């Protein structure tokens, strides 16, 4: 029942619309017009005011024709950079960009899949539960749209988010993530005339960073030093440097241990450098720790998993539980009372100019979602 040509055209139309994080207005308008044209009422929240961005989160209310609690289907509207002027190329069944931008399959493949599923339901008048179509802003770079979402506008308390790679998988575990910001203040001086009067913030930071273990800490935990900013000119002893890092773990206790270890290293280096400093007030240190998102653990006994597992069985494949290192809107919605299973659309090499996705994988994802909806709707009918 999936119309491959329609799905292909929708995806191509969507990826051609620029929508880097914070600038989703045009793609939001496109989606809103599309679902209103197929007679689904829409509503926006006030996320743009909260986040100071161009667009709100968007919700479409499909009422279905069975009296059941609604199910949520969710995708995010934003993409990473370089994501402007995307020109999709379709060869041998696979979409790529022309080579100088990302493709935008993350997450416009999900938008196209969700809209195709609704098209199939409507044109075949399938017996279906109500569905909340949720499209978020600013997922990339902190899941900000989901965090700002007024979830009282969402009727469903469970659902699915196509925002992973494997079309035959569902995410059963994703990590917590925290951002750690270290700001070191030194003392400026002329680097040629009187460097001994300065306190070099960059050198101090380097001494601390050389003692930080980063990358893969263990099979559940990672740490990354992502941004370093400091200095004004080569002839000035730098008096400030800011280091931005993140740590992730599926185990909250391990995450806390990594953060505390990093803090201890920086504090000890600052203490040692002060003892050698020409000015005992420097270097100074300020540390900020911000929770980015919390971990998700999906039990195989949960309705979200069971429905997907039965749908996979009906389609002839074994559902794989996936443990991933990234986060998704599900990490936020889970802790707002909406349990969402993250499934895959087949996108590969995301966040790079080599990003690609096959049409077949998108079709398979659409069939999977449609069968999940069918299992939920018709099992309930049979039980009644």
Find the CATH number of the domain harbouring 195.
3.30.70.360
Asked if residues 44 and 59 have their Cβ atoms less than 8 Å apart, the reply is yes
Q: How much is the pLDDT for 141?
A: 83
What's the mean pLDDT in 20-26?
97
Q: What letter does residue 173 receive in the DSSP assignment?
A: E
State the average pLDDT over residues 275-284: 94
In eight-state DSSP terms, residue 191 is T
Residue 181, beta-bridge partner list: 244, 288
- pLDDT (mean) for 178-197: 97
- The verdict on 142 and 65 lying in the same domain is yes
Active site residue 139: yes
What pairs with residue 246 in β-bridges?
179, 224
- For residues 73 and 115, membership in a common domain is answered with yes
Question: Is the confidence at residue 289, as pLDDT, over 60?
Answer: yes
CA distance 94 to 72: 28
How far from each other are the two terminal CA atoms of the chain, in whole angstroms? 27
| Pairing verdict, β 176-185 and 339-344 | unpaired
Distances (CA, A) of 284 to 186, 187, 266, 376: 7, 10, 10, 58
CATH number of domain containing 117: 3.40.630.10
Domain boundary among 292, 320, 335: 292
In this structure, the number of other CB atoms found within 10 A of the CB of residue 123 comes to 11
> Which domain-ending residue is among 257, 292, 327?
292
pLDDT 10s digits, 86-110: 999 999 999 999 989 999 999 999 9
pLDDT in tens, 237-278: 999 999 999 999 999 999 999 999 999 999 999 999 999 999
Q: Are residues 316 and 339 in the same domain?
A: yes
Rounded to an integer, the average pLDDT of 363-374 is 98
> For position 379, what pLDDT does the model report?
77
Which among 135, 147, 108 is positioned nearest to 28, based on CA atoms? 135
> What is the per-residue pLDDT for 272?
96
Instruction: Name which of 101, 65, 79, 73 is nearest 21 in CA terms.
Output: 79
Q: Rounded to an integer, what distance in angstroms lies between the CA atom of residue 339 and that of residue 171?
A: 12
Q: Hey, what are 243's tokens?
A: 């280091």
Given 116, 139, 140, 183, the catalytic residue: 139
Are 126 and 91 within one domain?
Answer: yes
Catalytic residue (choose from 45, 78, 140, 329): 78
Q: Clarify whether residues 190 and 279 are in a common domain.
A: yes
Q: Give residue 381's pLDDT band: very low, low, confident or very high (50, 70, 90).
A: very low
Q: Of 268, 292, 316, which marks where a domain is finished?
A: 292
Same-domain status, 241 and 372: no
Q: Report the alpha-carbon distance of residue 246 to residue 32 in Å, rounded.
A: 35
Contact in structure between 242 and 228 (CB atoms under 8 Å): yes
Q: Are residues 370 and 222 located together in one domain of the fold?
A: no
pLDDT given at position 380: 56
Is the same domain home to 329 and 267?
no
Across the chain, what does the average pLDDT equal?
96
Domain total of the chain:
2
The tokens of 38 are what? 């197929």
166 & 188 share domain: no
Q: Which residues pair with 60 in a beta bridge?
A: 42, 133
Task: For the full predicted model, state whether its pTM sits above 0.85.
Answer: yes
- Domain range spanning residue 236? 176-292
- What CA–CA distance (Å, rounded) separates 303 from 288? 38
Quote the distance between the C-alpha of residue 1 and its chain's center.
Answer: 30
Main-chain dihedrals φ then ψ at residue 287, nearest 5 degrees: -120, 135
pLDDT digits (tens, 9 = 90+) for 60-77: 999 999 999 999 999 999
136: alpha, beta or left, given left = phi > 0 and alpha = psi -120 to 50? beta
Radius of gyration of the CA atoms of the chain, in A: 24
The verdict on 154 and 187 lying in the same domain is no
Q: Which of 26, 27, 14 is nearest to 86 (CA)?
A: 14
Q: Give the pLDDT of residue 384.
A: 40
Alpha carbon separation from 188 to 227, 229, 270, 276, 380 (Å, rounded): 22, 16, 17, 16, 70
Coil, helix or strand at residue 375: helix
Residues 132 and 18 in one domain: yes
Same domain flag for 209 and 349: no
- DSSP string for 297-355: E--TTSHHHHHHHHHHHHHT-PPEEEE-SS--HHHHHHTTT-EEEEEE---BSTTSTT-
Measured distance CA(116)–CA(80) in Å, rounded: 24
Describe the crossing of helices 4-15 and 105-123 by its angle, rounded to 10 degrees.
140
pLDDT of residue 204 exceeding 80, the answer is yes
């Amino acid at each position: 029942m999936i119309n491959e040509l329609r799905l292909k055209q929708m995806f191509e139309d969507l990826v051609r619309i620029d929508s880097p994080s914070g600038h989703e207005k045009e793609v939001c308008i496109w989606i809103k017009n599309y679902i209103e044209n197929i007679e689904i009422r829409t509503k926006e929240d006030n996320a743009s005011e909260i986040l100071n961005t161009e667009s709100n989160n968007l919700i479409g209310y499909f009422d279905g024709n069975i009296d059941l609690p609604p199910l949520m289907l969710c995708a995010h509207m934003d993409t990473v950079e370089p994501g402007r002027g995307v020109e999709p190329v379709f060869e041998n069944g696979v979409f790529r960009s022309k080579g100088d931008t990302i493709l935008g399959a993350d997450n416009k493949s999900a938008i196209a899949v969700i809209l195709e599923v609704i098209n199939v339901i409507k044109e075949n008048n399938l017996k279906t539960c109500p569905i909340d179509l949720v499209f978020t802003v600013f997922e990339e770079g902190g899941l900000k749209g989901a965090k700002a979402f007024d979830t009282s506008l969402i009727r469903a308390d469970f659902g699915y988010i196509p925002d992973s790679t494997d079309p035959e998988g569902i995410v059963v575990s994703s990590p917590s993530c925290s951002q750690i910001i270290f700001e070191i203040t030194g003392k400026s001086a002329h680097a040629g005339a009187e460097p001994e009067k300065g306190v070099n913030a960059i050198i101090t930071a380097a001494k601390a960073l050389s003692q930080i273990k980063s990358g893969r800490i263990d099979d559940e935990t990672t740490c990354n030093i992502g941004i370093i900013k400091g200095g004004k000119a080569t002839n000035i002893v730098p008096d400030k440097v800011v280091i931005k890092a993140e740590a992730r773990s599926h185990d909250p206790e391990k995450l806390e241990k990594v953060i505390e270890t990093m803090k201890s290293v920086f504090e000890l280096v600052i203490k040692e450098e002060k003892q050698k400093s020409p000015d005992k007030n420097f270097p100074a240190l300020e540390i900020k720790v911000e929770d980015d998102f919390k971990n998700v653990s999906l039990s195989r006994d949960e309705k979200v998993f069971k429905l997907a597992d039965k749908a996979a069985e009906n389609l002839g494949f074994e559902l794989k539980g996936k443990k991933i290192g990234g986060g998704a809107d599900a990490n936020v919605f889970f802790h707002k009372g909406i349990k969402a299973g993250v499934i895959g659309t087949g996108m590969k090499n995301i966040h790079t100019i080599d990003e690609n996705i096959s049409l077949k994988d998108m079709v398979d994802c659409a069939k999977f979602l449609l069968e999940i909806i069918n299992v939920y709707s018709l099992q309930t009918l049979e039980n009644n």
